[in-house]
Amino acid sequence: MAIVVNKPIPEFDASATGGIKVSNTSHLGQTVVLYFYPKDNTPGCTTEAMQFRDHYKDFVKAGAVVFGVSRDNMKSHDEFKAKLELPFELIADTEEKMCHMFGVVKNKIMYGKKVKGIERSTFLIGPDGVLKAEWRGLKVPGHVDEVLKEVKALKKA
């Protein structure tokens, strides 16, 4: 089932760092920022994680919870989270269930070879469990500010 803006998020459940379970209903009443990224400890993903970290208090103040999602395993996530001192949890989607549900698995060309990769994307889910906004195939610079602006607008609405 594909996800569509202004429609409820389909059912899912996943495990995150800190022993947290995340599902389509686990955070009802809160705004949820789900950002999908290709891989722990790569330059773009590290920069993006640090920007979400540096703006984390602003997201919390605006009533949002942030989750990073990648195909890395829990051990990799725990190390990445500790190394960057991330204040939010990371979801280990090792079976790519969430990646496929959100449609972020894409064919990429890497060093001349076709590989299946994760397209950097962010999804904003409202307190009612409805997808409010999505950013796909994005570039890291300025992105976190854009998401925060949307979270604040949602809080005002």
Query: Tens digit of pLDDT for each residue in 51-83?
Result: 999 999 999 999 999 999 999 999 999 999 999
Judge whether 49 lies within some domain.
Answer: yes
Check residues 107 and 126 and name the one with the higher pLDDT. Answer: 126
Six token digits for residue 102: 């959100």
Judge whether 16 lies within some domain.
Answer: no
Judge whether 48 lies within some domain.
Answer: yes
Q: Which residue in the list 16, 45, 118, 133 is annotated as catalytic?
A: 45
State the average pLDDT over residues 87-109.
Answer: 93
Judge whether 17 lies within some domain.
Answer: no
Judge whether 105 lies within some domain.
Answer: yes
Judge whether 141 lies within some domain.
Answer: yes
**H-type alpha helices, the chain:** 43-54, 56-61, 74-84, 97-101, 143-156
Judge whether 54 lies within some domain.
Answer: yes
pLDDT classification of 114: cutoffs 50, 70, 90: confident
Q: Does residue 99 have an active-site annotation?
A: no
Question: The CATH number of the domain where 123 resides is what?
Answer: 3.40.30.10
- Give the Cα separation of 7 and 68 in Å (integer): 22
Six token digits for residue 88: 């939010």
Question: What dihedral angle (degrees, nearest 10) is formed by the CA atoms of 110, 108, 47, 95?
Answer: -110
pLDDT at 1 over 70: no
Judge whether 23 lies within some domain.
Answer: no
pTM above 0.85, yes or no: yes
Go through the chain and tell me how many residues it has.
157
- Residue 97 lies in domain: 36-156
Q: Say how many C-beta atoms besides its own lie within 10 A of residue 40's C-beta.
A: 24
Domains in the chain: how many in total?
1
Residue 155, CB half-sphere, CA atoms under 13 Å: how many? Answer: 17
